[in-house]
Amino acid sequence: MATKNFNAFEMAQAQFDKVAEQLELDLATKALLRQPLREYHFSIPVHMDDGSYQVFRGFRVQHNDARGPGKGGIRFHPQETVDTVKALAMWMTWKCSVVDIPLGGSKGGVICDPHNLSLREQEQLCRGWVRQLSKDVGPLRDVPAPDVMTNAQHMLWMLDEFEAINGAKYPGLITGKPIGMGGSLGRTEATGYGVIFTVREALKEHNIKPENTVAAVQGFGNVAQYAIELFEHIGGKVICVSCWDQEDQISYTFKKKDGIDLKTLLGITDRFGGINKIKAKDLGYEVLPGDKWIEQEVDILLPCALENQVTADTVTKIKPSVKFIAEGANGPTTPEADKVIQEKNIFIIPDFLANAGGVTCSYFEQVQSNMNYYWEKDEVLSRLDEKMTSAYLKVSELARQRKLYMRDAAYVIAIKRVAQACKDRGWV
Ligand code: GLU
């Protein structure tokens, strides 16, 4: 989000420029890939419950579609900016490429705070978003999905509006739909599980047993919740999570030294991942104001919230015990912090690899929707594991062979594929 001196798009461009230089990309390819192909800015008027009208700003950015239709989520957030959406669209291009699915990169957003909107108002917002873009998204063009503060219900309203406008059924328009309404089993779990598939592989490569590891998690939304579930399932322990407190407008870290209990915590959490502080204290949690999750004496850090969290300031708080960071969020680490992580020799599983499980499962959902035939959950999750594991192993092998930082190795693979597709199409 927009914080002083932080611009996610500049960060995404800086990461790209560094690797483009190493790859000796020609000038035209560099110019094409460091900017989005297209961006849409528009207004969405909504008739509010109190009878007034409010106008919201919406965006869709299509960064690159050389490898297939654009793909990427839509975020609802009060601090959304077009530069953040541009960065996220670019990261979607690399994400789809690194896991080798035939899709490009897009992202959308609306400046709004769903905490303060009724369901009816949110529905109007979703329908309005689609009305502005009905010619520019579509199953063969650009396929949206859920992201921060959007969910399956939002996707279904958007699909319904698109189908009403176009007079036919297009279940492949959008992914993350409800089960039974074109959604794929496993999609809700996919991003969080995907993070842990990569963590599991990294631990295996380092000869460490998951049952001997402890993790601290930032966030308690969809990604964090399912990452914790699978991490505990493979034997690991999570000692804290954090979340944004809407009332106090700050974050809190919820800590239990012997390990958090996912089920009971979920029982006191709202639909935005906000945990009830009083009930948590009653359950024996230490409730620490601020971002204490990063200062914990753990082996693994899992930032699963928003961008710009591991910064020049906060990176110094990471304890020497930390050996791994797996980025469940998009863009949590700034370039300055990245340098420090590299110097500290912490093994990083970069965002667009670690959290690619969501879009990979979205791809499976699209395939199922287009066939109108749905797979069993086991089949979805085992295909997901296969894709994530193979992408992880390719990146870690390249990093080892060429002594590259994991983030750079992932970029090398992703950028090369997209640059080649642009070349093969005769664009540059
Ligand atoms: N919003 C998710 C992401 O950042 C998923 C995108 C998708 O499924 O298209 O990867």
How far apart are the CA of 233 and the centre of ligand 1, in A?
24
Q: Do domains 38-183 and 184-428 have the same CATH topology?
A: yes
Q: Which residues pair with 397 in a beta bridge?
A: none
Residues belonging to the active site: 107
d(CA 158, CA 336): 39
d(CA 357, CA 385): 8
Sequence ranges of the domains in the chain = 38-183, 184-428
- Whether 182 lines ligand 1, by a CB cut-off of 6 Å, is no
Indicate which atom in ligand 1 lies nearest the CA of residue 356.
Answer: 10
Query: Global pTM?
Result: 0.96
- Whether 69 lines ligand 1, by a CB cut-off of 6 Å, is no
d(CA 159, CA 175): 9
Query: Where does 245-376 have alpha helices with state H?
Result: 262-267, 277-282, 335-343, 351-354, 357-371
Nearest CA to ligand 1 atom 8: 359
How far apart are the CA of 113 and the centre of ligand 1, in A?
20
d(CA 339, CA 402): 18
Indicate which atom in ligand 1 lies nearest the CA of residue 143.
Answer: 9
Candidate of 99, 177, 191 to mutate for ligand 1, largest count of ligand atoms within 8 Å of Cβ: 191
Query: Where does 8-144 have alpha helices with state H?
Result: 8-23, 27-33, 82-98, 119-133
- Whether 303 lines ligand 1, by a CB cut-off of 6 Å, is no
d(CA 155, CA 73): 10
Helix (H/G/I), strand (E/B), else coil: 308: coil
CATH topology of domain 38-183: Rossmann fold (3.40.50)
Going residue by residue through the chain (428 aa), what tens digit of pLDDT does each one get? 445 578 999 999 999 999 999 999 999 999 999 999 999 999 999 999 999 999 999 999 999 999 999 999 999 999 999 999 999 999 999 999 999 999 999 999 999 999 999 999 999 999 999 999 999 999 999 999 999 999 999 999 999 999 999 999 999 999 999 999 999 999 999 999 999 999 999 999 999 999 999 999 999 999 999 999 999 999 999 999 999 999 999 999 999 999 999 999 999 999 888 999 999 999 999 999 998 999 999 999 999 999 999 999 999 999 999 999 999 999 999 999 999 999 999 999 999 999 999 999 999 999 999 999 999 999 999 999 999 999 999 999 999 999 999 999 999 999 999 999 999 999 99
How far apart are the CA of 110 and the centre of ligand 1, in A?
16
- How many CB atoms lie under 10 A from the CB of residue 375? 18
Q: What contacts 279, CB < 8 A, 6 or more positions away?
A: 268
How far apart are the CA of 145 and the centre of ligand 1, in A?
6
Indicate which atom in ligand 1 lies nearest the CA of residue 187.
Answer: 8
CATH class of the region 184-428: alpha beta
Cα atoms found within 13 Å of the Cα of residue 178, Cβ hemisphere only? 9
- Whether 145 lines ligand 1, by a CB cut-off of 6 Å, is yes
Q: Which residues pair with 43 in a beta bridge?
A: 57
